[in-house]
Structure 1
Amino acid sequence: KSANGFEVEVESGWGDDPLFSDFKPDLIINNNDFTEAHQDWAQSITTPQNPPRELGWYQRKKSRYFKFYNQLVYEFAEVAEIDPLLFEVKTELFPTFDINLLESKEKLALAVDNLIVNLKNQYEERNWTQKPFVFVKNNSGTYGLAVIKVESGKEILDWSYKSRKKMKAAKSGKDVEEVIIQEGIPSIVETDGVVAEPVIYMIGSSLAGGFLRTHGAKTSTDSLNSPGAIYKRLCVSDLAIRPEGCPMENVYGWTSKLGALAISMEAKEMGVLI
């Protein structure tokens, strides 16, 4: 039952098309990350679904998505005549990760150091004062699990038991077998004195609002997708023009549109119809 009193009763969602009290839906809107494939359930449903179950984390890879996103960033930057690093999120795949093997951690530490040096050089070329850092993330999965911020390869070699445990398993207890090393992007947005990051919803190619993820116990370089996060409504009208004359609707809008295009390219490579 919704806040305005509208009520829908689910009568059946298994073994047949889902039936509601007053109508049969033409479309199922999924709000499930599908860490598990749920193949049996999917075979019992004939109603179209969006987003497709096949884009779930049981087979999706972050490295594939960011490959296409960054490719589009460079195409967009060339047309718009801007520096692609303003939109790019440098991402490298580390395909053979084993938290229990010292050799694996040593190779990961070396890869982290190499990326940080590369980022440092690019920042200095642009007179950016931000100290580079990266996140090591499970290449599959969501929910903020198996994600750790590091500023050097040595931190990986010195991981505590708590850190090793965090990188050992993802959602539903799945093992972490490959990771990405990803450039850390500081969150410059604040609301009510705490750091925040915007998440934008889209309908087709149009912005449809979103939310701010905030966390009072985190800094601008931490992952905010962690216990204690608070979510606040974000309307497109809230994306005001910054003092330097930059309309934030364009900044978030173009980033979102590039992201949506990247998902379509990702889906095509996976053979998923969207």
Structure 2
Amino acid sequence: VEVLLESIRLKYREYGIDREPFVIIKADAGSYGMGVMTARSVDDVRDLNRKERKRMAASKDSQAVRQVIMQEGVYTFETVGDPPAVAEPVVYMIDQHVVGGFYRVHTGRGADENLNAPGMHFEPLAFVEPCNTPDCGQAPDAAPNRFYAYGVVARLALLAAAREMAAHG
């Protein structure tokens, strides 16, 4: 946790990001939102109380957690609804093509919290038009351009996952 947070801090300084970095720790075998925690320092992990340890010890289907993964926490700045609720886009792909998606929404969580928790709901991402290219005639945050950006990020994530799989067999 300490090494990853320091690495993120360096990148935040390099890019002028004025936010506190955090990491997400979750069960490597899948979580369904269980066995997930946020850490902003090594003390957050070291000082887990008994209840928190028990919560982190089991994941989906009450399986014991044997391994965890740590990843950089990413702030969620998307909101949907009235009043606005924090939302994260989830994009579906077939091969390299974006085919749809939804927003995971949680009215009781903040921009730096796991939204995959009790109380969440889903809102459809309405891809009214194909979003293969940006619409230069509209604002950057117009729906077609946001959906285009989501698609770019999804394709980059797919490429990164493929490279990682190839490198690690």
Bucket of the pairwise TM-score, normalised by the shorter protein = 0.7 to 0.9
- Report deviation, 1:166: 1.3
**TM-score computed with the length of structure 2 as normaliser:** 0.82
1:164 — aligned with what? 53
2:135 — aligned with what? none
CA deviation profile, 1:42-92 (whole Å, cap 9, x unmatched): xxxxxxxxxxxxxxxxxxxxxxxxxxxxxxxxxxxxxxxxxxxxxxxxxxx
Unmatched 5+ stretches in structure 2: 132-137
- Rate the CA distance shift 1:243–1:176 in 2: closer, same or farther, 3 A: closer
1:248 — aligned with what? 146
The structure whose residues are more often strand, as a share, is 2
Unmatched 5+ stretches in structure 1: 1-111
CA deviation profile, 1:202-243 (whole Å, cap 9, x unmatched): 233222221111001100000000011011111224888435
Instruction: Quote the Cα distance in structure 2 between the aligned partners of 1:162 and 1:196.
Output: 28
CA deviation profile, 1:114-147 (whole Å, cap 9, x unmatched): 2212211221122111210111111121311211
Instruction: Quote the Cα distance in structure 2 between the aligned partners of 1:196 and 1:269.
Output: 33
Larger Rg over CA atoms: 1
Instruction: Quote the Cα distance in structure 1 between the aligned partners of 2:44 and 2:140.
Output: 37
Instruction: Quote the Cα distance in structure 2 between the aligned partners of 1:117 and 1:265.
Output: 25
- Report deviation, 1:270: 8.7
SS of residue paired to 2:57:
coil
**TM-score computed with the length of structure 1 as normaliser:** 0.52
1:92-107 alignment, distance < 5 Å:
none
- Given that 1:241 and 1:248 are in contact with CA atoms closer than 8 Å, whether structure 2 keeps it comes out as no
Give % identity. 32
1:111-130 alignment, distance < 5 Å:
112-130=1-19
SS of residue paired to 1:154:
helix
Pick the aligned partner of 1:201 from 92, 108, 125. 92
- Report deviation, 1:260: 3.1
Instruction: Quote the Cα distance in structure 1 between the aligned partners of 2:115 and 2:69.
Output: 18
How well do the aligned residues superpose, as a CA RMSD in angstroms?
Answer: 2.6
- Report deviation, 1:184: 0.3
